[in-house]
Amino acid sequence: MKRKSLSVTKKTLNFYLTKLKDPQVRKLYSLFSNNIASLDFTNKKIMVGVSGGADSLAVLFFSQCYALKHHIKLYPVIIDHKLRKESTIEAKNLRYKLKQNFKINCKILSKKIVKINNNIQSYARDLRYDLFFEECNKQKIDYLILGHHKDDLIENFFIRFLRGSGLKGLVSFDKNIINYNGIKVIRPFLSTSKKDLLKINKKTFGFFIEDPTNNDDKFLRSRIRKLLINLDKEGLKFNKFYLTLKNLSKSNQVIEFFVEKNVVENSKYFEKDKKVILNHSFFKNPEEIILRSFTQVIQKISNKKNYPRGKKISGLVDSLRFSNKNVKFTLSGCIIEKISNSVIIYHENR
């Protein structure tokens, strides 16, 4: 390595080591490290999602500290969703600042602009994840770190609650590490407030980009955020909320145990034909067990990211359970046939 490169590397390392001397920064770095301690990053690259918000930049800072300390290759990614005319300029400015001031090279990912008439935030979220996972698969990256925090955790709970989500939907955001098609998605700060991450941002990189849609009341998340400010005044504290969420999560784990038991004992998957046969005992369970089991099987055959809608699943399962005739349906790219006391499910394009 050239002398100049060594000097730049040493200067960069000193910047991070100096920042870690601050007690508050060091405390959260310890939390960050503990939350990923179970993972093996040997000879692996780690992708970090960088939105430009104070929370994602705080996570980028800690990720960079960890990467420098453990000699890990970091792969920071900025998503340009192109849904606002300023987004491309913001993404380029963010990449420039991180490169010039902190020697962090980011890749910008984007997709061709499409016209979205409603649910823009939902589209933007799905787009981010699609681009993250596509790049992970392309670069053979097994780990993705995101800057979600406890404010996001509470907001998502209430958004899903208002949309009528069941138990699984309500608690699906509470895990620090989840596995998605072989990629481990890591959210190390689900117990940390955005306020604390803002403080870290001020003490480290010292800048962030504010998304104007965060305060726009036409978006449900913005309205929920304001509602939670009032609920906080009425006594909704995170510790109380988190205890409730953990209790719900335990109940969900019990249901998941019996769902897995039902799938293993009462269905058979044929790899060669890419089909599943369900026996009559599959449907002799409590309704929630049946619905989740059936959804799991449909996802396996359809190989689609999104779950089919609850009402469609519920109506179809009722038809299979209570019909005395052989019936045939299509759902989520699958053919579902009831023949005598068995149900056969296969892909419609096989």
- Whether 43 and 144 map to the same domain: the answer is yes
The CA-atom distances, in angstroms, between 224 and each of 152, 159, 235 are: 11, 7, 16
Residue 141 resides in a domain: yes
Give the model confidence (pLDDT) of 61-74 as tens digits: 999 999 998 989 99
Is the pLDDT at 6 greater than 60? The verdict is no
Residue 241 resides in a domain: no
- Whether 184 and 291 map to the same domain: the answer is no
Q: Which helix (H) or strand (E) holds 320?
A: helix 310-322
- Whether 171 and 87 map to the same domain: the answer is yes
Mean pLDDT score across all residues of the chain: 88
DSSP codes joined into one string, 190-240: TTS-HHHHHHHHHHTT------GGGG-TTSHHHHHHHHHHHHHHTT--HHH
CA distance 208 to 218: 24
| Count of the separate structural domains present in the chain | 2
Would you say 265 and 296 are in contact if contact means Cβ atoms under 8 Å apart? no
- Whether 71 and 199 map to the same domain: the answer is yes
Strand partners, 275: 270, 346
Q: Could you tell me the residue range of the domain that residue 305 belongs to?
A: 248-347
Kindly report which listed range (119-123, 184-188, 284-288, 305-309) carries the lowest average pLDDT score.
305-309
Strands 183-186 and 143-145: parallel
- Whether 217 and 179 map to the same domain: the answer is yes
Residue 269 resides in a domain: yes
Give the model confidence (pLDDT) of 72-96 as tens digits: 999 999 999 887 888 899 999 999 9
Tell me what pLDDT residue 332 has: 86
pLDDT band for 4, please (50, 70, 90 cuts).
Answer: very low
Residue 243 resides in a domain: no
Residue, of 251 and 112, whose pLDDT is higher = 251
pLDDT band for 306, please (50, 70, 90 cuts).
Answer: low
Give the model confidence (pLDDT) of 133-167 as tens digits: 999 999 999 999 999 998 888 888 988 888 888 88
Would the pTM count as exceeding 0.85? no
- Whether 289 and 338 map to the same domain: the answer is yes
CA distance 249 to 263: 21
Which of 189, 207, 236 represents a domain boundary (last residue)? 236
Tell me what pLDDT residue 239 has: 79
